[in-house]
Chain A
Amino acid sequence: MQVEIGYRPAHSMARVMLQPNEAVVAESGAMVGMSTNVHMQTQSGGLMKGLKRMFGGESFFRNTFTAQGAAGEVLLAQSLPGDMVTLDMTPNGYFIQSSSYVASTPNVNIETKVGGFRSFFAGEGVFILKATAEGPGQCLVGAFGGIQELVCDGNLVIDTGHLVCWDSTLEYSVGKSGAGWIASFLSGEGLVCHFRGQGRIWIQTRNPSEYGTTVGRMLPPAG
């Protein structure tokens, strides 16, 4: 699988080139266009797996695109404006904020992480996925706004609304941004994620829910 990302950064789109009989798994709704020999199959991966995925803030179904008989291409894009990046799978894998996931090679296993993250992302309707793979593979993630790759060497604090994904070698915990709850609330920073250890973190330069709030309050009330 070869991926070319164009139209960066605001309206990026990935052109995924597949060898004969090669496949790519993509988030439902991500397909913009494709060769006619590419066959799409919808998989829920079993009811329980699908349900769990839905609780992860993702759509229940994922689609597998396979180039049949000859080479083919699939154009993939996320629905909101922003950049995309390809991650090469590592032995430890990645944690991915659920709405950032766009596509992956078929050998990448995507699990929904419930638990600690449930509370802190609940307000934003966002959960965390864990992507792991045995052997080489790729994962395509999309951001709202631009993407910056940060390196955590010891400690790093990131606003939860700006997280895209990070190396799973990092330890993380969610907490308040200021010294006290009132200060945290007044600062407008809300909850932040504290990272510890060594690894990379990809952040998005805009916060989707902040954007939604800014534009949404100018619209007429919902009926």
Chain B
Amino acid sequence: MRYQILDKPEFSVVQVHFDAPGEQMLCEPDAMVAKDSAIEMKTQMQGGLLSAAKRKLLGGESIFQNTFTASQPGQTLWLAPGPEGDVEVLELNGTQGVFLQSGAYMASAPTVELDTKWGGAKGFFSGTGLFLLRCVGQGPLFFNCYGGMHAVDVGPGGYICDTSHVVAFTEGLQYSVTKVGGLKSLFFSGEGLVCNFQGQGRLWISTRNSASLAAFIAPYRPRKRN
């Protein structure tokens, strides 16, 4: 299997090329843009009902996933996320896993396992919505975000990121949700809560968040007539 990401960063699209029959790719529903006719699609719950429901409730992903299987050599599959923005791929090596923020998962090889991890009471009660999907195994993992995707290699100094901009981070990074500045800052700075990352690993940040765009458009909605 070979793949490439085209039209980066605004309108990233993934082109997957299956060399041999039987090669597979798992995707979020709606991700398919185009496919050759000798690729079969099957819709199923991955890992059974419980695991799928957990993924839906906590990871913000769909209950059903589509599996695309090549039945002949030399087949091409095109995948794209819903919103405009970037797609990144990580080749998992079997030893180090990666955590994806809710909604960031796009596609993966069938040898990649997805599981939801409880984001911790702090993340839950602070309303940050930091629910994480843990991906381990071997093979490519595609994830997407609204806006550009900025990678930060976190070293001994750690890194701070606005919670609404976290897309993904590798295992080996620990985070705590904190506020920046003093009490006054928490309420008036407009910055809200941040994730304070410590440890060694890579962090992916989105340069925009779709909630801000939605908040901008909301006042332009028509008024209800009485």
Contact = CB atoms under 8 A, between A and B. Distances in A.
Among A34, A44, A60, find the residue whose CB has the most chain B CB atoms closer than 10 A.
A34
A173 interface: no
Most buried by B among A7, A29, A32, A34: A32
A114 B213 CA distance: 28
B188 A13 contact: no
Given A35-B160, A79-B212, A216-B220, A10 B84 contact: yes
A41 B215 CA distance: 25
Given A10-B10, A33-B160, A80-B216, A222 B165 contact: no
A38 interface: yes
A35 B224 contact: no
Contacts of B216: 79-80, 208, 212
Interface residues on B, range: 35 or more
Contacts of A212: 216-217, 219-220
A42 B190 CA distance: 9
B77 interface: no
Interface in B130-176: 147-148, 150, 152, 157-162, 165
Nearest to B148: A7
Contact of B224 (A33, A209, A223): A223
Nearest to B154: A36
A32 B185 contact: no
A128 interface: no
A77 B208 contact: yes
B208 A61 contact: no
A13 B148 contact: yes
A28 B150 contact: no
| Most A C-beta atoms less than 10 A away, residue of B10, B189, B215, B223 | B189
A113 B193 CA distance: 32
30 contacts: A6-B150, A7-B150, A11-B9, A12-B207, A27-B190, A29-B190, A31-B191, A33-B161, A34-B160, A35-B159, A36-B158, A40-B185, A41-B185, A42-B181, A42-B189, A61-B189, A63-B181, A63-B189, A75-B150, A75-B205, A77-B207, A79-B215, A80-B216, A212-B219, A216-B217, A216-B222, A217-B222, A219-B222, A222-B219, A222-B224
A2 interface: no
Interface of B: 9-10, 84-86, 147-148, 150, 152, 157-162, 165, 180-182, 184-185, 188-191, 196, 205, 207-209, 212-213, 215-225
A215 interface: yes
Nearest to B164: A32
Given A7-B148, A79-B216, A40 B222 contact: no
